[in-house]
Amino acid sequence: MNPYLESNKKLWNDWTDLHVQSGFYNVQGFLAGEQRLDSVELELGDVKGKSLLHLQCHFGMSTLSWARLGAQVTGADFSENSIALAKRLAQEINLEANFVCANLFDLPTVLQGEFDFVFTSHGVLSWLPDLSAWAKVIAHFLKSGGTFYIVEAHPFAYVFDDENKSDLRIRYAYFPKPEPDQLEVKGSYAVPDSEYRNVEYYWAHSMSEIINALAQAGLRIESLQEYPFLSWQMYPFMEINSQGWWQLPNAYPPLPLMFSLRATKP
C-alpha cells in the first residue's frame, strides 16, 4: 500500500477508538434507533430490497442506516478497527450487513459481485490519491443501470484556512498534484479537545477531476447539485441553522460548500 495511505490507516484506526466514545457520533443514540443519514444523502432514493455498497464507511453507522431502510448492505473501509466495530454494531442491533476491510483500490480483489447502488459521503475524497482508480472501482461494482451517489464537501470549500477563527482566508491549493499535503493532527474532527497527536496526508481534488474521472470510467453523470452549507463545522466561525446544517454567517454571500453527484452505469 502507498506509504501515505498506510500512515492514514493507522490514524483512522486510532480515531475509531476516539470516535466510538464521542458525542459527535453518539453511538448509543444510534443503537437506540436514531437515523444517521441526512436529507441530502437520502435523496439517493428508495433502497428497499436493493444491494448497496458503501465505500469508506468508517464504522458503519450510515451503512447500517441504509440497512434499516431495507437495503442489502456492504460496507468497506481500510481501517481494521473501524470494520471490527461496524460488525459489532450490526450484531448488537441485529441487522444483516457485510463489512469488508480493504484498501479501496484493492477492493475488487477481495469483494465479489455487483450492486444496485454504490454510495459514499462526507469527507472521503481528500484521503484518496488517485480519483481515476477510484472511479474505476465504482464502475467495477455497479450493475448495468446501477447508480453511484456521492455527497461531499465542495472542492472550493477546501481552499480556505480551517483554523482561522475570524474570516475566510485562502490557504490550500485547489488543483490536484501527485504528492499529498501533510497536516499536524490534534485530536480529530469529532474530538478536537483530545490530546491525541499524529499527522494526516491528504490530496486536493478539483470538481473537474471528480467529474472527468467518473465519465472516463464509463459512468453517465445524471445530476450535480451544489449547496451553501455543510454537514460539519469546517471553519470555526460557521453557524448551525435550524435544519442542522453548518453555514457561513450572513455577512457572506452564499458560497458552494457541499455538493451531491449522481451517476449511472449504462
Residue 263's pLDDT is 98
Q: Is residue 251 part of a domain?
A: no
Q: Is residue 250 part of a domain?
A: no
Q: Are strands 239-240 and 246-247 parallel, antiparallel or unpaired?
A: antiparallel
Q: Is residue 261 part of a domain?
A: no
Q: Is residue 180 part of a domain?
A: yes
Q: Is residue 238 part of a domain?
A: no
Q: Is residue 69 part of a domain?
A: yes
Of 52, 62, 212, 72, the closest CA to residue 134 belongs to 212
CB within 8 Å of 46: residues ≥ 6 apart: none
Q: Is residue 244 part of a domain?
A: no
User: Number of folded domains in the chain?
Assistant: 1
Residue 1's pLDDT is 72
Those residues of the chain that have pLDDT short of 50 are: none
Q: Is residue 266 part of a domain?
A: no
Question: Structural domain of residue 217, as residue ranges?
Answer: 3-155+173-227
CATH of the domain at 18: 3.40.50.150
Mapping DSSP to helix (H, G, I), strand (E, B) and coil, where does residue 57 land? coil
Residue 117's pLDDT is 99
* Whole-angstrom Cα Rg for the chain: 18
- Write out the three cell numbers for 199: 499527522
